[in-house]
Structure 1
């Protein structure tokens, strides 16, 4: 088991954590997901309250025109309900009432019962009578399993297929086979998001700086933490322009230990910033291979001199034109884009940064099950918890 280290949180991390808690509407759950205590997150929030109060006090009262817009939007929503209910319930319209009632029950959080009964041409009294009927033990068991499967599927941002959902249920003490999970997912029409073809985006290798040999040699499974780190850089589109994500991963547990999201490709904002976070989160205590592609951000003197300050670090680079030499880092970007980026339309760079923060710090590092780790998360793989510091 890896030795626990105290993590130091910079001001940017604190800001993103507070903003995420505001978006989620729950300080406690956000703190738990980030692996910090609610007291720490509450203190970070208090430190930002003066600025937030200043911003809120400057808001203007709603004008009559704005109130009219709100009213019209409400009426439009009613009209949309009349349109959307038949769309979602189309496969139930010609089936027996029991199937229609099941549809209504499954969508009570989305549509009013009275409206659904009217559109689907069943009586409310019939629906409520059906609700009172006690289902068989087998039906109850199936419904409970479906509920648990939906919960895991939703928590995975609709990215988990039957193998990962099965592992998650087994970890919760629920005995179930993968084929049964697959059958229930088909019955509930739950299908993991279709992954778009991932196009590898390499860094600029057209430079005259010296390049390092490939010392990693595709040894992607080191026996201890801190023996091999890999790094790469990709781009994310927003309505305000591109942002560039640089990550550093420890191959031992697949944890992202350092990352930066920048508006430029300069080394100071990409590789150097990610490296500084990585060495704070996981100090170098043994001989370490640091592997990347041949991009200018990794070969420039500003970065190579930074590595040389650590005598235990040996820089390694992929062979020319061979992306498989850095396959694990490329795999991370494939997951990030398939599970997050391709399904978002980021309006601002700040919005992209908040989403990437949540994806890395909560989902990928602490919750997502990795097939390369025996379907454990990096957090579970280390069988420990982060020690919190202010």
Structure 2
């Protein structure tokens, strides 16, 4: 409004935005003179710096209860609900016991492809549907992130990568490995499904899928069920390898162990949905039956 008021005028802009000119003028007056704001807004503005300070001074681990108690010790008699509301507004939260790392960081500005899977993780042949996701591993050197690309037909891990950062290059490396190993046909019959993480909906990742002739798909509601199969693979990886053999010291140790686990998973691990056979054997049986049918014709 302030940027264009000299050119168009306040009232025409308000009509276009369907807001009352009096509301805009009242807000502008409050910004020029904070004393004109309502009592609640003035109390919020006075307390918010103290909430931020207490949270920062205590290693950013305090939750609402401890921030509230510390403010009371300092003489700020604000109600707990007010502290909770201000912390939520400022994006502050207490530490949660256990290891919690946010890996799915959505980009609201990035256009998302349609959901072509609708939580039905089934495929009738190899290279019909891939799912991608990544998880985290704690090491003495810091957090590591491990990305997987899985062929839904056989649950075979066709691409993976370990990285120290959650970047687009990181997940693209896993995709490139999958493309090199599988060499899918460029007819867009292959669907690549992921969650709404900013890495997977980035321009570079989308362009690489299009270049390879792969149709992108992204979960519509943004919860774990939208990418349940990839979440299952992550869970197996954590339960069967990471949690059993930790603590992990270095990235190299995680990479070597992940390489060994992926090889075992693909070639030896029995999967109940496949009839208790390994993914590689399941695919080999499919191609053997396909060849026999072709020969019979």
Normalised-by-shorter TM-score class? 0.5 to 0.7
Summarize deviations over 1:161-181 as a string: whole Å, max 9, x none. Answer: xxxxxxxxxxxxxxxxxxxxx
Change (3 A) 1:219 1:365: same
Deviation at 1:221, TM superposition (A): 1.8
Which residues in structure 2 correspond to 1:246-257 (within 5 Å)? Answer: 246-257=147-158
Spell out structure 1 runs of 4+ moving beyond 6 A: 197-200
Higher relative contact order, chain-length normalized (CA < 8 Å, sep 6+): 1
Q: How much has 1:202 moved relative to structure 2?
A: 4.1
Q: May I ask how many residue pairs the two structures share in their alignment?
A: 185
Match of residue 281 from structure 2? 380
Provide structure 2 residue ranges, at least 5 long, that are not aligned to the other structure: 1-97, 286-297
Cα distance in 1 for residues equivalent to 2:152 and 2:112: 22
- CA displacement, residues 300-324 of structure 1 (integer Å, 9 cap, x when unaligned): 111111111123x110001233211
- 1:223 maps to which residue? 124
Q: Kindly name which structure, 1 or 2, has the bigger radius of gyration based on alpha carbons.
A: 2
TM-score by length of 2: 0.59
What does the per-residue CA deviation read over 1:206-253, in whole Å, with 9 as the maximum and x for residues that have no partner? 441111111012231211101100000111110001111111000011
Query: What's the C-alpha RMSD, in Å, of the aligned pairs?
Result: 1.9
1:303 to 194, 205, 209: 205
**Structure 1 residues 249-300: Cα deviation after superposition (integer angstroms, max 9, x where no partner):** 00011000011101111111x2110111001110112511100001011011
1:271 aligned to 168, 171, 187, which one? 171
Evaluate the alpha carbon distance shift between residue 198 and residue 374 of structure 1 in structure 2; reply closer, same or farther with a 3 A threshold. farther
8 Å Cα contact 2:136/2:143 also seen in 1: yes
Query: TM-score with structure 1 length normalisation?
Result: 0.45
Residue 383 (structure 1) shift: 2.8
Which among 215, 223, 229 is matched to residue 314 of structure 1? Answer: 215
**Structure 1: 5+ residue stretches without partners:** 1-196, 385-390
Which residue in 1 is equivalent to 2:54?
none
Q: Contact 2:103/2:166 (CA < 8 Å) preserved in 1?
A: no
Q: Which whole-Å CA distance do the structure 2 matches of 1:226 and 1:218 have between them?
A: 18
Which structure 2 residues correspond to residues 107-146 of structure 1 after superposition, within 5 A? none
